[in-house]
Structure 1
């Protein structure tokens, strides 16, 4: 995909509307994770350093088109200033005279954050009138919010049709990483997909079997595939209504020369709690009073051996209930193996909320080629869907 980047773009003295994702986690009024602000900072630093007047736009939470003070971006703007190590401005609106005055007072290199765009119902409706009002404050548009690019909103897609529009450096990094993983990957390419339900990842699985050479299925969704083949799963979570769908996916994978790797053993327990009594059993024979909560050591060994022959790997979803010990064991072992393979030259791309949390727990995020914090946008890209916020940036 050819999309417009900031390479060679003159920004000095220009009013640049920068769509960011400042939707950071808050607890008791305090930001608990600065990752999104830290990943945004290179684009702001570059634009500001080149003399642009940087006007930051973002949504925050779900105010349903109304002003909700607890969802104001004011504290996030203050935190962004701390991350950047400089003073930045804030206006408690994103349209109107107060914004116009603040923008007019900006000097080259200044940074200004505007209030939550979702305080206006027209944001999520991709209202042309709202997009036009906001666009009047800028001369060019830069989208650095890949995590919101799967939504056709006024500040992700609408403004890009009104002003010269470019991808920011974080957006560029995401797109380059995903293209390396699924667009034109070095082969063999594999994918690890975990999660609780096949129903939530049907589009993902259907797309991947046409793109990858190896598909590892873990998490509770693997139970549905095994049960569809007649395995006894005890009390394990699975979806009986999707047994035929699972068989269809396996048949389609075979037709596309995509190997599906399913668990051969499980770590099971009679209760889902921290550190209960457990046992390792064959994947085809979970006791009637037990449930599978992690893949077993033989399965983990098989996955690790399989990824050693890969040149590219995409990871979305843990292998087990990693938040609850001891059911993180397989995911942690696999993470270490993925990090080692990456050190040896494999391209590794991970993404999705649980995946990022698991990789962070394993301490390997910095060792992977790229880890996306984009959530839904990452998943929709892997599903092969067009993202409105990206499509509008294509050259």
Structure 2
């Protein structure tokens, strides 16, 4: 990798500022999914074991006004991190000031502290989100070196990633390194054949990804709600299925572009249709050529799962982003489950999930350890797959 990693730093006795992605879901002050905290442990442990002093920080949700602070504090996260590490994590409920500076100065080698949600700085003028230069400089002044392990925010230029990096030697943490290696590898140098599976509701969310992958991938399989805009572009009746009317022409162009490039853009051949958008409603499976008025497609059908599984045979790299149907409803989750199982059982392939709902699905189904890499950054991985330069990655020092 051309970027510095934490192993390239001499951290002994150093104050190591560490941007982590602890933007975890919370309910009533309790963490409901701690995957992002667990994912950061290897980098934190490495620095602590090598005699560094860790000053960890993260954002948590959006903070627009003072009233948001109560439910957006990182204190419960610091407490859980302490349990996972098996050592105290001193928490400072401030984002700047004397209390924070004193805690940093008192930190000893092999100790860790955390400070408050970086987005608390957004209440007065979006200082964090707009990469306020004074804030980035201030945070940088607290440390000797900077380790960025928060891929989930790498597509944004914030004070807590790009701002700090402009003042300190910066390295990628192990999680960031993996994301650059796997997601970047899909875009830059994949083992072939490369098969991309894209789902989710809207074509508009994935236009850039589809356009870039038509150049890069050997096959693109499309499911989810956005498949109906493509089916409409082929002149099929889609009933009352989700449609982005203003993207039909674009879908036609993408189908033509794939054909002109000699690439397979594969659409489902059957769909599970229902009368209403809810789980406990009448539903049936029909061919995509036989969707009747008044029915909406909410999942791909069994024949499409079989087709997609066949198209995956022999793949050396697979990247998946987006569910195949309305995964939250059990009656319309079979397509997502089927595709997840097909990828999980592939032999000899590098299999990558680009974050978001598909990552949640794989974890929920118990297949997390069957994938080579599950990205922690939905938005960041999508932009990376589009071929965009991510500011948070760009800001890491070159070797």
Which whole-Å CA distance do the structure 2 matches of 1:7 and 1:23 have between them? 25
* Per-residue CA distance 1:142-191 (angstroms, 9 max, x = gap): 00000011110111101111011000111111111113322210001010
Give the match for residue 110 of structure 2: 109
How far is the alpha carbon of 1:204 from its aligned partner?
1.4
- Report the aligned-residue RMSD: 1.4
Correspondent of 1:225 among 223, 230, 235? 230
2:160 match: 155
What secondary structure, in the 3-state scheme, does the structure 1 residue paired with 2:241 have?
coil
Please tell me whether residue 44 in structure 1 is matched to residue 44 in structure 2.
yes
Deviation digits for residues 251-286 of structure 1 (CA, Å, limit 9, x no counterpart): 111222221000111111212322433222110220
Structure 1, unmatched stretches of 5+, are none
Give, in whole Å, the separation in 2 of the partners of 1:156 and 1:135.
10
Partner of 2:378: 375
CA distance in 1, matches of 2:330, 2:49: 47
Q: Does 1:68 align with 2:73?
A: no
Paired with 1:63 and 1:320, the residues of 2 have a C-alpha distance of 32
The Cα shift of 1:351 comes to 2.2
- Distance in 1 (CA, whole Å) between partners of 2:144 and 2:14 is 6
Q: Deviations over 1:15-61 (max 9, x none)?
A: 00000111111101111111111011111100001000100121121
User: Are the aligned partners of 2:24 and 2:33 in contact in 1 as well (CA < 8 Å)?
Assistant: yes
The reply on whether 1:210 has 2:215 as its aligned counterpart is yes
Partner of 1:169: 174
Deviation at 1:11, TM superposition (A): 0.6
After TM superposition, give the deviation of residue 394 of structure 1 in Å: 4.7
Of 328, 349, 353, the match for 2:352: 349
Identify which of 364, 367, 391 aligns with 1:361: 364
2:203 pairs, out of 198, 223, 241, with: 198
Query: Is 1:235 matched with 2:236?
Result: no
Is 1:315 paired with 2:320? yes
Matches within 5 A, 1:1-395: 2-64=2-64, 68-120=69-121, 121-341=126-346, 344-395=347-398
TM-score w.r.t. the length of structure 2 is 0.95
Give the Cα–Cα distance (whole angstroms) in 1 for the partners of residues 375 and 88 of structure 2. 28
Q: Secondary structure at the match of 1:89?
A: strand
User: What CA deviation, in whole Å up to 9, does each residue of 1:229-250 have, x standing for no partner?
Assistant: 1101111111222111001111
Q: CA deviation at 1:65?
A: 7.1
How many positions carry a matched residue from both structures? 393
How far apart in 2 are the matches of 1:112 and 1:280?
55
* SS at structure 2 position matched to 1:198: coil
Taking the aligned partners of 2:247 and 2:71, their CA distance within structure 1 comes to 41
Quote the Cα distance in structure 2 between the aligned partners of 1:272 and 1:283: 18
Q: Secondary structure at the match of 2:147?
A: strand
Which range is displaced more, 357-366 or 135-144? 357-366
Q: For the Cα contact (< 8 Å) 1:146–1:171, is it kept in 2?
A: yes
* Alpha-carbon distance between aligned partners in 2 of 1:82 and 1:62, rounded to the nearest angstrom: 26
Distance 1:49 1:318 in 2: 40
- Cα shift at 1:86: 1.2
